[in-house]
Amino acid sequence: MSYSNTSWFMVIIVCLALSTNALAQEPVHNYGNLKIHDNGAVGFHYDFINDGVSDDNKGLAGFYNSNSILISGAFRPIFQDMEIVVNNNLFLDVGVGITNNSNFVVGNVFTPRNLLDITLDYIDDAFYTGETDTTKVDGYSGITNKANFVFPIGDAGKLRPLEIFSTATDTEAKSAYFFEDPNNPSTFSLQFNTNERTDILTAVSTYEFWDLDADISSRIKLSWDADSNLNTFVDAIENLRIVGWNTQDGIWENLGGNSITGDFNSGELTSDLFIPDDYSAITFGGSLSTDNIDLGNYLVTPNDDGINDVLYFDAVALSPNNELKIFNRWGRQVYYAENYENTFNGKANQNFVVVSNKNLPDGIYFYILTLKDIGIKHQGFLSLNQ
C-alpha cells in the first residue's frame, strides 16, 4: 500500500468515513509495503497492525480516536511525522520510530514497562512538541544516534523528563520514569534497598525513580516537584544529589549534584559523568556536605558489640584523600593511615611504645585528622576502652 502526495486527502476522507460506520471498525492491517510519500498524510482512526514494511515514510501519520488506539505487529513502523489525538491514549505493542517530529495533542503514548525494546524512538534529528502532564510517553522513550536529548517521559498524570548529555553519540538509549518506591518496584526483578548506600549519602528517595539505559559516559539533568517530598529526606537543597543503584555492587552511590536551582517544591540539578548502564535505577538522595562535618571527641570500645567498635568519622566520605594520626598521652604516634576508611579498632600500627598490631592500653588519646579534599585539619580526643 502506497500513498502519494496527490491522493493523501482521499485517504483521510476514507478513514473519516470508516470512523462513522460502526460496522466497519476494523484495524488497519499492513501485510505488504505501506509508504507515505513526500507531503502525504494518513489518518489512522483504529488500531494499526504492521506485519509488513512501513519504515520509509515521508509524510504525516495521524492517530485520531475518542477512545484508544493500539499499534502492534511483527515489525516496527517508522514515521517521519506523527500526530497523537487519542482521548484514551495510544498504546504500543511494538516500537515506533520518528525521524522528524511527534506532536502530542491529546492523550499519552503508553509502552509496556516490562518490555524495554518497545519504545517511542526518536531517530537522528527527530524531536517532539506538545508534551504536558497528560500528553507524554508513559513508559519508555528511546533515541537512536543522538548525544543530547530530553526524554518526554512520565507516569500517570505527571511529566518528569530526563535530559541526557552524552560525551559521544548514543547509538541507542532509552529511559522511563516511575512514580513509585524503588524498594518495591513494580516491573523490576531487583529491589533497590534505600538503606544500602555509600557513607557519603544520608538518605535516598522512596517516592520515585528513573531508569536510563545507555552505554556512553553521560551527565543527566533531573527535576522535581512537590510530590518528590524532598523535605522528608534532605535538610537543605544544597545537600541534594542524584544517586544511582550500582547493579554490580548492590548499593546506592552518589552521582553528583551540580547547578542546583529551585526550592523544595520545584527545581533541577545535573549529575557528574557516569555510565548509565552501570546503574539500574536513578533518583534523588541526600549527601553529607562540609556543613555536616562535626568533628569532636570519640569513644572507641572494640568489643564486637556493634557499638563504637571503630573510630568512625562521617567526614571521610567527603574527603577520601585524608590522613589520620593518633597519639598517646606522651605524644608518641601509635597509629597512622593515609586515606583512612574508618577501620581503627584500638590496635597500634606504629612500633614505638607498643608492638605494631597489638591492642593499645585503655586511656585517652588524641588524633589529628586532615581532610585534604576539602581543606580541613582537626585535632580531637578519643577515649579507648578495650
Distance (Å, whole) CA 287 – CA 256:
9
The pLDDT tens digits for 345-366 are: 999 998 765 666 788 999 999 8
Assess whether 254 and 331 both reside in one domain.
no
| 380, three cell numbers | 580531637
pLDDT of residue 84: 98
Assess whether 372 and 267 both reside in one domain.
no
What average pLDDT score do residues 243-265 get? 95
CATH code at position 380 = 2.60.40
Nearest to 311 by CA among 374, 251, 369, 351: 369
Is residue 22 over pLDDT 50? no
pLDDT of residue 1: 42
What percentage of the chain exceeds 70 in pLDDT?
A: 91
Question: Residue 19: pLDDT band by 50, 70, 90 thresholds?
Answer: very low
| Domains of the chain: total | 2
The pLDDT tens digits for 93-130 are: 999 999 999 999 999 999 999 999 999 999 999 999 99
Is residue 21 over pLDDT 60? no
The pLDDT tens digits for 134-190 are: 999 999 999 999 999 999 999 999 999 999 999 999 999 999 999 999 999 999 999
174 and 140 in contact (C-beta within 8 Å)? yes
Computed over every residue of the chain, the mean pLDDT equals: 90
Domain of 141, in residue numbers? 2-287
Assess whether 324 and 216 both reside in one domain.
no
pLDDT of residue 25: 63
79 and 41 in contact (C-beta within 8 Å)? no
Last residue of a domain, one of 242, 266, 287: 287
285 and 204 in contact (C-beta within 8 Å)? yes
Assess whether 173 and 317 both reside in one domain.
no
Last residue of a domain, one of 287, 316, 342: 287
Question: Residue 196: pLDDT band by 50, 70, 90 thresholds?
Answer: very high
The pLDDT tens digits for 287-323 are: 877 766 778 899 999 998 989 999 999 889 888 999 9
Last residue of a domain, one of 287, 305, 339: 287
Is residue 343 over pLDDT 50? yes
| 343, three cell numbers | 577501620
Assess whether 232 and 143 both reside in one domain.
yes
Does an H or E element contain 14, and which?
A: helix 8-19
pTM of model > 0.75: yes
Assess whether 237 and 372 both reside in one domain.
no
Nearest to 330 by CA among 380, 369, 358, 365: 365
pLDDT of residue 14: 36
Is residue 13 over pLDDT 50? no
Distance (Å, whole) CA 138 – CA 161:
11
Does an H or E element contain 334, and which?
A: strand 333-338
